[in-house]
Chain A
């Protein structure tokens, strides 16, 4: 099992460019999440998908869109990148059972110039 994988690992964008961050899990988990982590801010929830076919906004959804492509994959899109979106982005998944602990991907370090 690869667990939760994310691509790319690093990305540099210019202001106004767009890109999609990819996330996939092979654990047959039901729920998937996108977080951003900024220094001193902890993790903030951008969007989540409680189950295949549903998505909901988190704490900081502005400037982002998501797609739950299937049970395995959950992508995050920046339509017009801004310097304020410079951050480390983590994808996570949850089985949706009794314990519900999250499993995290390795992260994508994004810099917007």
Chain B
């Protein structure tokens, strides 16, 4: 059974600081997704990582994928208050089934 774990679960950080969120998954998968959810809102797609070594960046967020280690990271550079949200990673449970399993989420709070 595929398990997806994120850490930390909660993260409070000062504006301007850097930090990394980790996403570990238990079985082979070559696709990993990152989503953002604002309080009381739905989820929106941030990144799609399709292969080992994939790196995607948008603004202050950068995501990477290491399929051999079954690990993805979401790195935050010089955090700003607008990045406060919950971040989820998700993995395609089995290639071609389109069945996705989500991590428990990392709730990020950036303090001004």
Please give the residue numbers on chain A whose beta carbons come within 8 Å of chain B beta carbons, in ascending order: 31, 33, 35, 40-45, 48, 50, 56, 58-59, 90, 92, 94, 96, 98-107
In the complex, residue of chain A having the shortest beta-carbon distance to the beta carbon of B43:
A104
Residues on B with beta carbons closer than 8 Å to the beta carbon of A106? 41-42
Please give the residue numbers on chain B whose beta carbons come within 8 Å of chain A beta carbons, in ascending order: 9, 31, 33, 35, 41-45, 48, 50, 88, 90, 92, 97-105
Q: Are the C-beta atoms of A90 and B98 separated by less than 8 Å? A: no
How many Å lie between the Cα of A107 and that of B38 in the bound state?
Answer: 13
Q: Are the C-beta atoms of B48 and A100 separated by less than 8 Å? A: yes
Q: A98-B50, A101-B33, A102-B43 are in contact. List 11 more A-B contacts (CB 8 A).
A: A33-B100, A35-B102, A42-B105, A44-B102, A50-B97, A90-B42, A90-B43, A99-B48, A102-B33, A102-B100, A106-B42
Residues on B with beta carbons closer than 8 Å to the beta carbon of A56? 99
Task: List, sorted by A's number, 17 A–B pairs whose CB atoms are closer than 8 Å.
Answer: A40-B9, A40-B104, A42-B103, A43-B43, A44-B102, A98-B50, A99-B50, A100-B31, A101-B45, A101-B48, A102-B35, A102-B45, A102-B100, A103-B45, A104-B43, A105-B42, A106-B42
How many Å lie between the Cα of A48 and that of B102 in the bound state?
Answer: 14
Residues on B with beta carbons closer than 8 Å to the beta carbon of A43? 43, 88, 90, 102
In the complex, residue of chain B having the shortest beta-carbon distance to the beta carbon of A31:
B98
How many Å lie between the Cα of A105 and that of B44 in the bound state?
Answer: 10
